[in-house]
Amino acid sequence: MGLIAKALERRIMTLAELDIQMDRAVFGAPSGAGAEITADAAMTVMAVYAAVRLIAESVGSLPLHVYRRLAPRGKERAADHWLYRLLHDAPKPEQTSMEWRETMMGHLLLRGNAYSQIARDGAGRAAELWPMHPDRVRVFRDAAGRLTYRFIAPVTFRITDLAQEQVFHVRGLSANGLTGISPIGVAREALGLAIGTQSFGSRFFGNSANPSGVLEYPGRLTKEAHKRLQEDWAAQHQGLSNAQRVAILENGMKWQSVGIAMDDAQFLETRKFQVGEIARMFNVPPHMLRDLERATFSNIEQQAIEFVVYTLRPWLVRFEQRILADLVPPEEADTVFAEFLVDGLLRGSLKERYDAYHTARLDGWLSANEIRELENMNPLASAEGDT
């Protein structure tokens, strides 16, 4: 990090170079496959992009409401509370609530941490939430033991130290309790293999879908002849537009293939296996990454419920508890809280829901209007609807 600090002082590092240096500092060396593994590089793998997009969009699109506890029990939606509009509508002027949560989840899934700077009003209440890129944030304790967030601003490279109460920080699985572990860093080798096979496939088809090889010449070529032969061969036979063209070799020259056949390299099997590895990495059912090889009509609905329970719920709880810790004032912590609504994702088929409603109605613990509300329908006009 000393080299990065010196470069920042001289203002000679571009944003792209800074991101690369930060990623290397966090993730370490390249993978065994030779690919440089960064969060941005991982997103070029379609299975990774699909998994990140699926979870981020799911969390972003779920209704997020602020509630007020009632005495002696129960709760009511606190639409009049100042925190409601911040979380439900727009955390800042340039972003909607879904866009903000989608951004935060993308940071969490790829880097293990999500940060937003809290802008407070004159009364000390959170008025706006401004996401900060995790690559530009470092967390440490100062000499007095206080948690400090050091943020390197883009473009200007200005370094700002923020106190704990100025940052909304959601962390993933953590080893030190301060920052989350980067999933990309942990899965470096699996992602390196996925990127490696993807790059190999691109080069394979870029070379007319033929394995690499050598041209054998019985004599010795001059430097000029060697360069000219190499350029002419690439121009005539490299690329899909030159596929199946006949090569004419002169003066005893021979073509000798030195590549490994795609079947021998198990190219397709490797790519399929990596989709499963990435699904395990993000704890996503494979069928949600469009891998339907082992999915059936009898188990897809159950897997969708498992996605909510085992994949989404831990992230939702992290957000809910961090909102309570960072945004709700201490004097209201016992009465005000935020909660995601996931009932819509857990609903079964129409017949299953109606059978459950029938039982609840006959047993007397749901009224007709409560059932209609669960189905997003207006209440009955008569008073019997609340009986």
Q: Is residue 288 part of a domain?
A: yes
Residues 123 and 246 in one domain: no
What is the domain extent for residue 310?
A: 13-206+262-345
Tokens at residue 129, please? Answer: 């939430």
Question: Which position has the token pair 């061969």?
Answer: 233
Residues 237 and 341 in one domain: no
More confident residue, 205 or 190: 190
Residues 191 and 303 in one domain: yes
The amino acid at 4:
I
Q: Does the pLDDT of residue 148 top 70, yes or no?
A: yes
Distance in angstroms (rounded) separating the CA atoms of residues 19 and 22: 5
Per-residue pLDDT of 168-197, as tens digits, reads 999 999 988 899 998 887 767 667 666 666
Which residues are CB-neighbours of 65 under 8 A, at least 6 positions away?
77, 84, 88, 338, 339, 341
The vertex-202 CA angle with 201 and 203, nearest 5°, equals 90
| Residue 238 pLDDT class (50, 70, 90 cuts) | low
Q: Is residue 171 part of a domain?
A: yes
Nearest Cα to Cα of residue 23 among 182, 195, 202, 200:
182
Nearest Cα to Cα of residue 335 among 71, 118, 133:
71
Contact assessment for residue 38 and residue 184, using Cβ atoms and an 8 Å cutoff: yes
Q: What is the pLDDT of residue 4?
A: 53
Residues 158 and 201 in one domain: yes
Residues 105 and 248 in one domain: no
Residues 107 and 46 in one domain: yes
Residues 164 and 46 in one domain: yes
Q: Does the pLDDT of residue 264 top 60, yes or no?
A: no
Residues 239 and 197 in one domain: no
Domain total for the chain? 3
Q: Is residue 104 part of a domain?
A: yes
Per-residue pLDDT of 295-354, as tens digits, reads 666 666 777 788 898 999 999 999 999 999 999 999 999 999 999 988 767 766 777 888
Tokens at residue 303, please? Answer: 């897997």
Q: Does the pLDDT of residue 210 top 60, yes or no?
A: no
Q: Is residue 3 part of a domain?
A: no
Residues 100 and 131 in one domain: yes
Question: Quick one: what percent of the chain has pLDDT higher than 70?
Answer: 67
Please state, rounded to an integer, the average pLDDT across all residues of the chain. Answer: 79
Residues 195 and 223 in one domain: no
Q: Is residue 352 part of a domain?
A: yes
pTM for this predicted structure: 0.71
Question: Which position has the token pair 């990140």?
Answer: 52
Cβ burial of 51 (10 Å; 0-12, 13-18, 19+) is buried
Contact assessment for residue 151 and residue 140, using Cβ atoms and an 8 Å cutoff: no
Per-residue pLDDT of 85-143, as tens digits, reads 999 999 999 999 999 999 999 999 999 999 999 999 999 999 999 999 999 999 999 88
Q: Does the pLDDT of residue 33 top 50, yes or no?
A: no
Tokens at residue 322, please? Answer: 């961090």
Distance in angstroms (rounded) separating the CA atoms of residues 286 and 278: 9
